[in-house]
Amino acid sequence: MAGMLKKAWDEVVKPMVQRPARVQVAAVCYKGTGTDRKVLVITSRETKRWILPKGWPIDGLEANAAAAQEAWEEAGVKAAAIAPEPIGSYDYEKRMDGGGVVSCATQVYAVEVDHLEDNFPEATERTRKWVYPVEAAEMVEEPGLQALLKNF
C-alpha cells in the first residue's frame, strides 16, 4: 500500500503541484589544455560566494551565445570559441530580489577565453580568479556544479 501511495505521489500529485525549474545558462570559461587547463570563477554580487558566470536566457540569442554574453557582462570574457551544446547541467536554488527562492536548472556551456577585459559591465561588483577545475569544484557550493567541474 505504501508503495502505491508513493508511486501516486511521485507520478501524479507531485508533478501537478511542484513548480518546474526555471532555466538558466552558465559559462565555464577556460584557458589552456590538459593539466594546464584553468577555469574562471567569479563572486556573486550579493553573497560574494564563488560561482560561474550565469543568467537567464536572452531573447534572440541561442543558449550558448547567452552564456557567452553573461561571461562578458559578469567577468569581462572575450570568447574565442563557444561550445554549441551544453557540457552538462546542475540544479540550484536561486534567491530572488523579493526574497523568494526558485529552483533553477542551469545548462553549462564551455567557453574558451581569448582574453579578459578589465573594463566590463559588472567589474566593480565582482572578483574573478583563474583556478584549476578541481580547485573550482571545492570553491563552489552546488553539488552538481562541483561534479561538473571535477570532470571538466
Q: Is 55 a member of any domain?
A: yes
Q: What is the pLDDT of residue 132?
A: 98
What single-letter DSSP state applies at residue 59? T
Q: Is 56 a member of any domain?
A: yes
> Could you tell me if 140 and 95 are in contact, meaning their C-beta atoms sit under 8 angstroms apart?
no
Q: Residue 90 is inside which H or E element, if any?
A: strand 88-95
* CATH of residue 123: 3.90.79.10
Q: What is the pLDDT of residues 101-137, one digit of tens each?
A: 889 999 999 999 999 999 999 999 999 999 999 999 9
For residues 101 and 2, give the distance between their C-alpha atoms in angstroms, rounded to a whole number: 31
What single-letter DSSP state applies at residue 99? S
Residues sharing a CB contact under 8 Å with residue 74, sequence separation 6 or more, in sequence order: 42, 53, 54, 55, 120, 121, 122, 126
Q: Is 80 a member of any domain?
A: yes
Confidence grade of residue 13 (pLDDT, cut at 50, 70, 90)? low
Q: What is the pLDDT of residues 23-67, one digit of tens each?
A: 999 999 999 999 999 999 999 998 899 999 999 999 999 999 999
What single-letter DSSP state applies at residue 25? E
Domain hosting residue 112, numbered range: 20-150
Q: What is the pLDDT of residue 10?
A: 59
Q: Is 109 a member of any domain?
A: yes
Q: Residue 116: is it exposed, middle or buried by C-beta count within 10 angstroms (0-12/13-18/19+)?
A: middle
